[in-house]
């Protein structure tokens, strides 16, 4: 039943009486315009660096550990071990004549099988060369002269270092690669992680991947690194303390004055090894050292992100080294679990 006029108790109905046979125009009641959460505003919730990057790349204002998000890819790297399989899966699932989501965001770096006389291994590089030609992939760092292993000018060496040196690593971006040590690029303040051929083939066709947001472990390293202690020593000590499974499917964020004093190469060494503790990704907050390195190699814009004050870290490792003049060779630290007030000691030999 349609009621054109509703009369409230105590009110006088002044609506004109409708005569039989008269045409009456009825219009729907105007609904109040809907407002999205973004326009109404919301209480800001603190997030870690990793969570912020994944939120931005999934078009969300907030993500939390355990969320599954369709994440946009800024760069996809593959090499001569996984590249042929990746393109094979792409062609099987999307079709022989399908187009890549964005050829300029695909980076191919043969670096595993190049110094070999094995014809089958060399065939992998040949396939990549064919794929680069077919899909017009700009960033294919080829090596053509296999007879005496003299690389051509386009060859850049190990894929993880080449990605950085050629300007493919930028703060705030997402990098996927078909190599477990893709986490190396987290040194630039980006989300970088290794994936398999199937996931990489899906990215070739869609430019995105379903990612479960990892919880973050934070490692705050304050103090001065002695000359005889290197970044590799530090990350090996950390892995020894937390174990080779201590960071399984977790982000490992490294910060503090000891990290800030490191070169980009040292920071890459730290992040490169997080997978050896089972980590999903490693990340270092970008600073002027990061910006100078990136801007010297790329003119593309980027937007860095940082962990919020009050962000939830599943565990904090804090290490403060003694002054450089101290005799002691052992640093002291505390391990703070959010769910417990117990503070077990953790020795990290910063000095």
pLDDT value of position 115:
75
Closest CA to 283 of 261, 306, 257: 306
pLDDT value of position 143:
83
d(CA 41, CA 142): 50
pLDDT value of position 342:
34
Interval 280-327: pLDDT, tens: 999 999 999 999 999 999 999 999 999 999 999 999 998 876 544 433
Torsion-angle region of 172 (φ positive above 0: left; ψ -120 to 50: alpha; else: beta): left
What length is written for the chain?
351
Give the β-pairing of 315-320 and 281-283: unpaired
Closest CA to 65 of 77, 51, 55, 81: 51
Cα 152 → chain centroid? 31
* 92 phi and psi angles, rounded to 5 deg: -70, -45
Contacts of 271 (CB under 8 A, 6+ apart): 183, 184, 185, 186, 187, 192, 252, 254, 281, 282, 283, 284
pLDDT value of position 150:
60
All domains in the chain, ordered by first residue: 49-299+308-337 (3.30.499.10)
pLDDT value of position 337:
41
In the chain the first and final C-alpha atoms are separated, in Å, by 83
Residue 208 near residue 72, CB atoms below 8 Å: yes
Q: How many CA atoms lie within 13 A of 235 on its CB side?
A: 25
DSSP states of 273-320 as a string?
TGGGGT-SEEE----HHHHHHHHTT---------PPTT---SEEEEEE
pTM for the whole thing? Answer: 0.80
pLDDT value of position 282:
98
Residue 269 near residue 236, CB atoms below 8 Å: no
Task: Give the strand order in the sheet containing 315-320.
Answer: 281-283, 251-255, 216-222, 315-320, 332-337
Name residues of the chain where pLDDT drops below 50.
1-42, 323-351
Residue 211's DSSP bridge partners are: 69
Contacts of 147 (CB under 8 A, 6+ apart): none
d(CA 328, CA 306): 34
**What value, to the nearest 5°, has the Cα angle with vertex 264 and ends 335 and 314?**
25
pLDDT value of position 147:
57
Average pLDDT of the chain to the nearest whole number: 83
Q: Return the number of other C-beta atoms located less than 10 Å from residue 126's C-beta.
A: 13
pLDDT value of position 227:
86
């Amino acid at each position: 039943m349609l009621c054109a006029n509703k009369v409230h108790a105590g009110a006088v109905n002044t609506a004109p009486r409708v005569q039989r046979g008269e045409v009456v125009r009825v219009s729907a009641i105007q609904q109040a315009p809907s407002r999205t959460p973004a326009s109404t505003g919301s209480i800001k919730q603190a997030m870690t660096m990793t969570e912020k990057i994944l939120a931005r790349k999934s078009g969300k204002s907030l993500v939390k550990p355990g969320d599954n998000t369709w994440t946009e890819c800024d760069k996809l790297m593959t090499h001569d071990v996984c590249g042929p399989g990746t393109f094979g899966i792409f062609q099987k699932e999307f079709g022989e004549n399908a187009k890549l989501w964005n050829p300029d965001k695909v980076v191919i770096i043969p670096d595993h099988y190049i110094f070999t006389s094995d014809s089958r291994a060399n065939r992998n590089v040949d396939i990549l060369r064919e794929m680069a030609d077919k899909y017009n992939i700009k960033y294919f760092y080829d090596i053509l002269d296999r007879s005496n292993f003299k690389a051509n000018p386009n060859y850049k060496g190990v894929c993880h270092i080449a990605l950085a040196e050629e300007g493919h690593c930028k703060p705030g971006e997402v990098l996927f690669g078909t190599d477990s040590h893709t986490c190396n690029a987290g040194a630039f303040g980006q989300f970088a992680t290794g994936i398999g051929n199937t996931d990489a083939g899906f990215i070739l066709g869609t430019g995105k991947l379903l990612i479960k947001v990892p919880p973050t472990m934070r490692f705050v390293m304050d103090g001065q690194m002695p000359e005889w202690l290197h970044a590799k020593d530090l990350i090996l000590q950390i892995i020894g303390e937390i174990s080779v499974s201590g960071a399984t499917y977790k982000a490992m964020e490294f910060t503090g004055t000891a990290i800030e004093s490191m070169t980009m190469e040292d920071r890459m060494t730290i992040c490169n090894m997080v997978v050896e503790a089972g980590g999903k990704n490693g990340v270092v907050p970008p600073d002027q050292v990061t910006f100078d390195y990136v801007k010297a190699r790329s003119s593309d814009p980027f937007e860095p992100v940082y962990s919020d004050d009050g962000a939830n870290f599943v565990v904090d490792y804090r290490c403060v080294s003694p002054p450089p003049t101290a005799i002691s060779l052992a640093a002291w630290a505390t391990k703070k679990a959010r769910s417990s007030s117990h503070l077990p000691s953790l020795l990290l030999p910063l000095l």
